[in-house]
Structure 1
């Protein structure tokens, strides 16, 4: 009788072990399936407004990513809200962020000539209250997105857009990290104790639009407040080095613009490092 009882216990134990194995395998397979979901970027056109201006933006995010993630604002070059700034939003979404390509001119307005671009940009930079309202409207829209962690917000900008994000940060915007590419640093609001963000500036050392004295003034101001920043000047690199349209625009309008693949790649790597440290 004892032998039969012992045999039954052994059989029961083996059945129990066998029954557990498939469950473990299925759980493992489910986890692997979850981890292997491909990146699926959703790009959505959005409309928003200040009290005086209708604005058209673009939000990009990975719909297969779980949980909340940092939100990034992207401000366009002086040409306006175009495909280039949307491409950058998609690239940030691929890195795991939710990004909004901002409209600082209103109604998605774009310039076809440098003269118009200059006028559009000047109208924004000389009206800081309205510029701030447009930036804040995009910031609030970004924070309202279901995928965004509102405690982790950054902003980047190109050319005119770089000056915008630096100015907003210096004005006290609640940003964790700010990056400017081929951007002027002689700003309507220079660095002061309102600045909260870590800052990255990536410029071409041969960019004639960047006054050397303005760089010294910018660095001096940043150092005076103990700001966390990095200023990178790429040797031999001209203005608009991140844009593949730069060469064509430079030739068309006889301007010192040139795409530089190496500087473009290096600056994007530096941006990822900034975000990794900030978030």
Structure 2
């Protein structure tokens, strides 16, 4: 098994001191890199483990922070912060660019070979970076099927993969249709996978659907969505082993 090293990284964004999680594969060579964005509740061990798993595959990976080191498990507090954020593309881009700068500054990162994956709010931020013209190799978003400002999707230069639960009340069919129409009209190489029977945040093991209606974990689809994301990276950002 590949030896992975991890460390926390502090950086400034959105008026807060963010605390990200950086995971690096063994070796000293530059590696393709992946920016990992969390759900609206914030950075948790779920995203940290995903960064670690990506490092096991040979990527440098940074799971970024949304709330200055806090995890907002109170739904009202989370919505009070995230709804204004999701309505403000420039704020989302600011948070994303700050994290991307940290990842690019890491000596192990190949700055010309970076992808972004995100969940919920983190996925929306990944998309906004694409709409801002960041030269990603791929973007993946689970649940975060948020449309952008008119015309800006044409700046997305890479394939976009999106995953959503069929029973997600937060991302209903009308929202899915608006999202895919935006990408199609912009000429983006896109694909959408709808996971049958899954709710919002189906990929996140710690969610409690009894507290948040319409939210719940679906173990089988969570594994499938992760495999789909890894397949996207393998297609668009393959890891080549340096001797």
TM-score between the two structures when normalised by the length of structure 2: 0.90
The farther-off stretch of 111-120 and 126-135 is: 126-135
Higher helix share: 1
Residue of structure 1 equivalent to 2:98: 137
Distance 2:183 2:99 in 1: 26
Counterpart pick for 1:211 among 134, 152, 172: 172
Larger RCO: 1 or 2 (CA < 8 Å, sep 6+) = 2
Please tell me whether the aligned partners of residues 44 and 71 of structure 2 are also in contact (alpha carbons under 8 angstroms). yes
How far did 1:188 drift?
5.3
Summarize the Cα distance change of 1:139–1:257 in structure 2 as closer, same or farther, 3 Å threshold.
Answer: same
Tell me what 2:46 maps to. Answer: 84
- Cα deviation, residue 53, structure 1: 3.1
Deviation at 1:180? 0.7
Other structure's SS at 1:55 match: strand
Q: Is 1:207–1:239's contact at 8 Å kept on the other side of the alignment?
A: yes
Residue equivalent to 1:250: 209
RMSD: 1.9
Q: How far did 1:254 drift? A: 4.4
SS of residue paired to 1:165: helix
Equivalent residues in 2 for 1:168-187, closer than 5 Å: 168-187=129-148
Partners of 1:192 and 1:93 in 2: CA distance: 30
Q: Distance in 1 between matches of 2:111 and 2:70?
A: 28
Tell me if 1:115 matches 2:73: no
Identify which of 168, 191, 196 aligns with 1:235: 196
The alignment status of 1:259 with 2:217, answered yes or no, reads yes
Cα distance 1:130–1:221, how it changes in 2: closer, same or farther (>3 A)?
A: closer
Length, aligned pairs only: 237
Which residue among 133, 146, 151 is the counterpart of 2:112?
A: 151
Pick closer, same or farther for the CA change 1:212–1:73 going to 2, 3 Å: same
CA contact (8 A) 1:43 1:59 kept: yes
Question: Partner of 1:3 in structure 2?
Answer: none
For the 8 Å contact 2:89–2:148, the answer to whether it is kept is: no
d(CA) in 2 for partners of 1:45, 1:258: 29
Gaps of 5+ in 1: 1-37
Larger radius of gyration: 1
Tell me by how many angstroms 1:51 deviates. 8.0
Partner of 2:126: 165
CA distance in 2, matches of 1:139, 1:49: 12
- The 1:136–1:213 alpha-carbon spacing in structure 2 relative to 1, beyond 3 Å, is same
Deviation track 1:54-75 (CA, whole Å, cap 9, x = no partner) reads 221110111x245221111111
Please tell me whether residue 272 in structure 1 is matched to residue 233 in structure 2: no
The 2-side partners of 1:232 and 1:103 are apart by: 26
User: What are the equivalent positions in structure 2 for 1:20-169 lying under 5 Å apart?
Assistant: 38-50=1-13, 52-62=15-25, 64-65=26-27, 67-105=29-67, 107-169=68-130
Offset of residue 178 of structure 1 = 0.7
Displacement, 1:40?
Answer: 1.0
- Is 123-132 or 237-246 further displaced after alignment? 123-132
Distance in 2 (CA, whole Å) between partners of 1:237 and 1:138 is: 30
Task: Give distance in 2, aligned partners of 1:41 and 1:118.
Answer: 34
Paired residues of 2:97 and 2:129 also in contact (CA < 8 A): no
